[in-house]
Amino acid sequence: MRKFNKIVFVFIMILIYISYMLPFQVFAAEYLNVYSESAVLLEQKTGKILFKKNAHKKMYPASTTKILTCIIALEECDLSETAVASEEAISRLTEGYTKANIVPR
């Protein structure tokens, strides 16, 4: 029984080693339910595209920009201070841009 356990253990270790050495491919990319208008999935080490949906379509990163602005504000700003925007800064925003109800002083 001990010999059988050793064989099973060695076999499992070989499988684990091989699984880390071989590159994985995404075989089910066409079956993914991606509900966003566009998406790209890259392999981190090589930059190889594993999945893409409208990868070259020009999109506006609205939510990403808002999240990044929030992170920078939390890390770099004193949150007890009031932010002030000039009339000129707000008037330069064209139709369709979010003004977040900022009122100039």
Q: Model pTM?
A: 0.36
CA distance linking residue 20 with residue 11, whole number of Å: 15
Q: Which two tokens stand for residue 64?
A: 């990403």
3-class DSSP state for residue 42?
A: strand
- Each residue of 53-98: pLDDT tens digit? 888 888 877 778 888 888 898 899 888 887 778 888 878 877 777 7
- Each residue of 15-65: pLDDT tens digit? 776 666 665 555 555 567 778 888 888 888 888 888 888 888 888 777 788
HSE, side-chain direction, 13 A CA sphere, residue 94: 0
Strands (E), 1-102: 39-42, 49-53
CA distance linking residue 3 with residue 32, whole number of Å: 44
